[in-house]
Structure 1
Amino acid sequence: MNEDTTQNASSFVSQVDSAFVFIFGISLFFLVGITAFLVYYIIRYRKSKNAEATHIEGSNTLEIIWTIIPTILVLSMFYYGWSGWKFQRDIPEDAIPIKTIARMWSFTFQYENGLITDTLYVPKGKAVNLDLVALDVLHSFYIPAFRVKQDMVPGKQTNIWFESEKEGEYEIYCAEYCGLRHSYMRSLVKVIPANEFEAMTKIDSSALAINNEVVDSRQAGISITRKYGCNACHTADGTKLVGPSYKNIMGRTRVVLIDGEEHEIEADEAYIRRSIYEPNAEIVKGFEKGLMLSYKDQVTEEEFTQLLEYFYYLSEQ
């Protein structure tokens, strides 16, 4: 993982770091100075050296000094912070748009050509505009090496931008507690040469594309599970996570809880449809209710068909 921040990983690094050093330096200076004065006066005017209290008249000069100087320092710190914030809010018109979707507990990224990935790919030396969308609860998109962080609120459109100045891989985190697997909500941003990014985004790799020869039905199913963040809670190899695995799911019977009562049902097409559109109606025994949202208005009929083909493939292995 490339986390070397001695060189600018994004266009915001030097500005944010300068503001931090400036504010931290002032704070540290006054912390040391005030602490030193306190220690000095405690020793200098301790009872054994100053048995009787001495009356000291006030000083208008001192009052003015310790009012004006802190005001100037606070305003200068505000200016540093405000100028950096304003620069980050002014998105360049030619910035490349990438839709960033957060859900419990994963990020997915959709490009203009329909390509969907669970890793963010961006070109070196070009501005990128991330359209942030939260589908369920509060999330926060955070790339420490780029010095960018933005809360994602359901129903509220937010955007952030940056320009990557150094090729490499950098961590993406969710910085807002969002539930049971919040600590697993991580991804990567890969900064690649501009020509590689252009070649990648020229191919129509969307699983939604009709007669798309780039992806077969199995790859389309994988793309859909990444698009909707299914891999955050389900696995394709039989491993148990928050939700049951879709390995060997088709045609098998399973025990589910319906209104608190156990029922044995067959995992057929109708069951898969109910599991996606009404996920809390039938809960597989051993798993918790209420952790999955309905995808009724999100997963299209074509996507559902491709998911079925993918599940059939996993059940035949």
Structure 2
Amino acid sequence: MENQLLTTTQAVDPVFIFILGCCFLLLLGITAAMIYFVIRYHRSRAPQPTSQRDGSLWLEVVWTALPTLLVIGMFYYGWSRYLVLREVPTGALKATAVARMWSWEFQYENGKTSDVLYIPVGKPVEVDLQSKDVIHGFFMPAFRIKRDVVPGMKNHVWFVADKAGSYDIFCSQYCGTGHSAMIAKAQALPPEQFAKWLSETTNGAENPAHELLEKYGCLGCHTEDGTKKVGPTFKGLYGSKVKVTVGGKEAEVVADDAYLHESIVAPAAKIVVGYPPVMPAQTIPEAEVKVIVDYLKNLK
């Protein structure tokens, strides 16, 4: 079978089973040999050594050659399948995964973005990997792929979803306090359904503020439903009293328009008590800041 016809699971699983099988056979063989020698050469059976030989050339050749051939075989089999994981099939759908603390954003060639990686069933997908801040790891257990996402370094993965469904995407590198919450989904759709989704031009236009929160990675640390994550929830924030640390001293402020604006453009100015000061500063156009603030005001 040619590399182009393999999927990532077809490339990885046989290698794993081969190595696991070899290890299992070696375990059985070594364990059986140990038990045999313990019984055969127990002191009660052989109180004195009976052999006068001090070595065996053929035995040393065998126990050196066989493990060497086995290791070389494992390496060759694994290397050949690793190359499959790096050679993207012709005609693959292209997407980009942008990682930031602590969320994923997925971009398509037509400009569409989403916090879910939508993919067509039965078609190879190539995902370029980018990081906005620190080292992350793109990990999809269902497709046996895991690749570092390093700032400034080009990297990619590819895979094929053979059936419709939802698949987990994790960050495999510890990237800070919100690492465990950096989880996204890949949604495999039938080709015609995926094509319809991809061709839609709204791309969140019904709720532009939510789209901006996704774009700047806000939802990686904050929620809109009251759930606490790395940062405080947006729900019910506007108009509430918030305990913050300013210049090393605690104070209580009202989450009004000015507070929300300052928290977006200068997140280190006031740190909410009980939460780590990990929100990165970003350059966000003033018009977009206003859209976000107006949206947060209505999350009651």
TM-score for the superposition, normalised by structure 1:
0.84
Q: Is the 8 A contact 2:271 2:277 kept in 1?
A: no
Question: Map of 1:119-198 to 2, 5 A cutoff?
Answer: 119-198=116-195
Deviations 1:186-238 (A, max 9, x none): 2221111122212211223346xxxxxxx23xx11112222333223212234
The answer to whether structure 1 residue 308 and structure 2 residue 293 are counterparts is yes
Deviation at 1:28, TM superposition (A): 0.9
Q: Is the 8 A contact 1:242 1:287 kept in 2?
A: no
Deviation at 1:52, TM superposition (A): 1.8
The answer to whether structure 1 residue 293 and structure 2 residue 280 are counterparts is yes
Question: Map of 1:70-109 to 2, 5 A cutoff?
Answer: 70-109=67-106
Q: Distance in 2 between matches of 1:288 and 1:155?
A: 29
Q: Indicate how the Cα distance of structure 1 residues 147 and 239 shifts in structure 2: closer, same or farther if over 3 A, else same.
A: closer
Tell me the SS of whatever aligns to 2:279: coil
Q: Indicate how the Cα distance of structure 1 residues 273 and 157 shifts in structure 2: closer, same or farther if over 3 A, else same.
A: farther
Q: Indicate how the Cα distance of structure 1 residues 95 and 305 shifts in structure 2: closer, same or farther if over 3 A, else same.
A: farther
Greater shift after overlay, 116-125 or 181-190?
Answer: 181-190
Q: Is the 8 A contact 2:261 2:293 kept in 1?
A: no
Deviation at 1:123, TM superposition (A): 0.7
Q: Distance in 2 between matches of 1:259 and 1:268?
A: 20
Q: Is the 8 A contact 2:11 2:85 kept in 1?
A: no
Deviations 1:117-173 (A, max 9, x none): 222110112221111122333322211111111122233221111122222222222
Q: How many residues align?
A: 294
Deviation at 1:301, TM superposition (A): 3.5
Q: Is the 8 A contact 2:166 2:188 kept in 1?
A: yes
Q: Indicate how the Cα distance of structure 1 residues 252 and 145 shifts in structure 2: closer, same or farther if over 3 A, else same.
A: closer
Greater shift after overlay, 189-198 or 271-280?
Answer: 271-280
Which residue identity does 1:307 align to in structure 2? I
The aligned residue for residue 264 of structure 2 is: 276
Q: Percent of aligned positions with the same letter in both sequences?
A: 40
The aligned residue for residue 245 of structure 1 is: 233
Q: Indicate how the Cα distance of structure 1 residues 202 and 15 shifts in structure 2: closer, same or farther if over 3 A, else same.
A: same
Tell me the SS of whatever aligns to 1:121: strand
**Structure 1, gaps ≥5 residues long:** 1-9, 208-214
**Structure 2, gaps ≥5 residues long:** 1-5
Q: Is the 8 A contact 2:242 2:252 kept in 1?
A: yes
Deviation at 1:264, TM superposition (A): 4.1
Deviation at 1:270, TM superposition (A): 4.1
Q: Is the 8 A contact 1:141 1:150 kept in 2?
A: yes
The aligned residue for residue 58 of structure 1 is: 55
The aligned residue for residue 112 of structure 1 is: 109
Q: Distance in 1 between matches of 2:178 and 2:230?
A: 8
TM-score for the superposition, normalised by structure 2:
0.88
Deviation at 1:174, TM superposition (A): 2.2
Which residue identity does 1:137 align to in structure 2? V
Which residue, out of 10, 20, 29, partners 1:24? 20
Q: How much is the aligned-residue C-alpha RMSD, in angstroms? A: 2.3
Which residue identity does 1:303 align to in structure 2? E
Which residue identity does 1:43 align to in structure 2? I
Which residue identity does 1:148 align to in structure 2? I
